[in-house]
A and B are shown apart, each in its own frame.
Chain A
Amino acid sequence: MTEYPRVEITKRASELVDRLREQHGELIFHQSGGCCDGSSPMCLKKGDLRIGAQDVLLGEIHGCPFYMSAAQFEYWKHTHLTIDVTEGRGSSFSLEIPLGLRFVTKSRLFTEEEAKALKPVRTGDAKA
């Protein structure tokens, strides 16, 4: 049976991931919330942010695990996410910022068919 992904990435954003990976090594994404640059996805060096039991692994995009805090996921779980990239000047510690680019999250509702067969999520580290 097909399992539908919760999060996907555009080609342009994948290319940016490649560029960053060359420079920094393995990467992860963590969807932020709150003030200023909140609600933007953060691209971080693997191991920099301590991923724990209060994080949900939504899936993998272009070889990077994509996490969100479990509390936030409760409000986001009915939506499909696409990680894209735009020109811009974010603040925060996301690795693409010095390049004048910013990852952005685009969202849509899952279709009924998708909602019935979503890839299961789990908490904690991808490798745990």
Chain B
Amino acid sequence: MIYPKPQFRERYENFIGGQWMPPIGNAYFDDVSPVDGSVIAAVPRSTEKDIDCAVSAAEKAFQSWRNTSASERSNILFRIAQRIEDNFEELARIECWENGKPIRETLTADIPLVIDHFRYFGSVIRAEAGDVSDLDPTTVSMEIHEPLGVVGQIIPWNFPILMAAWKLAPALAAGNCVVLKPAEQTPVSILAVMEMISDLLPPGVVNVVNGFGPEAGKPLASHPRVRKIAFTGETTTGRLIMQYASENLIPVTLELGGKSPNIFFASVMESDDSFLDKALEGFTMFALNQGEVCTCPSRALIQENIYDEFMERAIKRVQAIKLGDPLDSTTMMGAQASNDQYQKILNYLDIGKKEGAKVLTGGGPAKIEKYPNGFYIQPTILEGHNKMRVFQEEIFGPVVSVTTFKDEDEALEIANDTLYGLGAGVWSRDMHQVQTITRGIEAGRVWVNCYHLYPANASFGGYKHSGIGRETHKYVLNHYRHVKNVLISFGKKPLGLF
């Protein structure tokens, strides 16, 4: 089935203080679809003044939002989830067209997960309680949670709505007000959500300001009245954001990507069964979302004694990927999100070949007849060794670099020989081996006999250069609030010191 192209407005505005506001400088930029290279809509090119206006609106809203009950915030999050669910297909088509990902992903993963994250955080704040310690018969210590205030959130373009939900849902659940800047490649997906849910939130609780990193992102990250910054992106900007935060002495959470190993032990081939089939699918997961996933399993490590046989099947599996019209429900892989990403991936294929990596399949651009101006790349397997740059850098494209290992020690050595530590996959039928490898891997998320699952109640975040802090799971609530200790004495006698 081919879904109809979504309808867009000609122009979108910023959402500040519950109103749709044109940017103060009255400048706009074109949002381009990577599916066919056409212009979707004009989007505000905001500056420091717009950010300042949004921070003020958020500060004002915080005065009452901070005092809402957990049940009130929970109910609002449930209503947001319901509204998104009611408009689920429309959002799936919008995100597909704006990001280039296949509609089957937005229908079955992105949007259902968005709904689930709002419901999860709506639920979890109802079920939790602070701590009370009865220190002695007349002294009680209470740990109380309080929101931080206005938080700034900078959203990436690879899962435009889901990444916004990962940050928005816990921030709101914890009682904060938000100024959010969508990625400049994919602003409209978030603006479409805001149009649908704007009546559900008190004015100023969520503000969306669009624009470019240096013009709008930087003023948000360095704003003196913002109490916390959450960012997903690359390492240089991550460092800048920490630096600005240090000037304001505020906390940051950073998710900065990875080069995740997906490790296949010999036992996966002990039987030609459904589990082997699952493992081969697990290998092919590098192509999910065109490889534009921070946890893309972009390094596959295969035990050497099964390498030939495993790869023969894996190559067939990858060659069966259907690349094409993202709005076609049978399409498995769509367009890369922008021209510069497309160019970057081609540059990586080039240096990979120059370094001596062997192309096992794919290796170049792809042409989709229907959309000659879209940005498409063939799903690619490169064979090489872990010191090559294609094994060390996040390509953010449908490219997996494959190498072999001898035993568990070597598997761990290669897996951990990377600057990053976001995700990892372990495939084995031996539970003892699974435990050894899982504990040995330096990464925030280790998938065992599965990959690319993102339930709301499983924490996500990085070791090493992959970042600071966690997202999803109720752990993240503590990145969005203070702990206030209230120490109460019920005794009447003075200490006798003064």
A residues in contact (CB < 8 Å) with B = 30-40, 42, 44, 48-50, 69, 71-72, 75-76, 79, 86-95, 97-98, 100, 102, 104-109
Contacts and interface: CB of A to CB of B under 8 A. Distances in A.
Contacts of B348: 39
Contact of B344 (A39, A79, A109): A39
Given A39-B393, A89-B184, A33 B234 contact: yes
Interface string B127-150: 000000000000000000000000
B161 to A, nearest CB: 16
10 contacts: A35-B233, A36-B156, A36-B157, A39-B393, A75-B387, A75-B392, A87-B339, A91-B183, A97-B213, A106-B350
A49 B239 contact: yes
A32 B235 contact: yes
Interface in B174-206: 183-185
B395 A79 contact: no
A42 B185 contact: no
A91 B465 contact: no
B218 interface: yes
Interface residues of B, number: 55
A36 B235 CA distance: 10
A95 B157 CA distance: 19
A114 to B, nearest CB: 14
Contact of B184 (A44, A48, A97): A97
A16 to B, nearest CB: 13
Contacts of A109: 354-355
Nearest to B45: A98
B235 A89 contact: no
B485 interface: no
| Of B158, B238, B348, most A-chain CB atoms within 10 Å | B238
B240 interface: yes
B243 interface: yes
B350 A79 contact: no
Given A36-B234, A91-B233, 19 more contacts: A33-B234, A34-B420, A36-B157, A36-B232, A37-B340, A38-B234, A38-B396, A39-B344, A39-B348, A39-B393, A49-B243, A50-B243, A86-B339, A88-B339, A97-B212, A106-B347, A106-B350, A107-B350, A108-B351
B319 interface: no
A34 B217 CA distance: 18
Contact of B234 (A35, A87, A102): A35
Given A71-B419, A89-B185, A107-B389, A35 B258 contact: yes
A70 B340 CA distance: 25
Contacts of A104: 340, 343-344, 347
A36 to B, nearest CB: 5
| Of B237, B258, B393, most A-chain CB atoms within 10 Å | B237
B156 A79 contact: no
| Of A93, A100, A109, most B-chain CB atoms within 10 Å | A93
Contacts of B45: 98
Contacts of A42: 236-237
A38 B340 contact: no
Contact of B340 (A30, A48, A90): A90
B215 interface: yes
A33 B465 contact: yes
B387 A32 contact: no
Contact of B214 (A38, A75, A94, A107): A94
B234 A89 contact: no
Nearest to B218: A93
A97 B214 contact: yes
Contacts of A108: 351, 354
Nearest 5 CB-CB pairs, A to B? A35-B257, A88-B340, A34-B257, A38-B234, A32-B236
Contacts of B396: 35-36, 38-39
A94 B212 CA distance: 9
A75 B234 CA distance: 17
Contact of A88 (B233, B240, B341, B350): B341
Nearest to A55: B239
| Of A37, A86, A102, most B-chain CB atoms within 10 Å | A37
B294 A35 contact: yes
B260 to A, nearest CB: 11
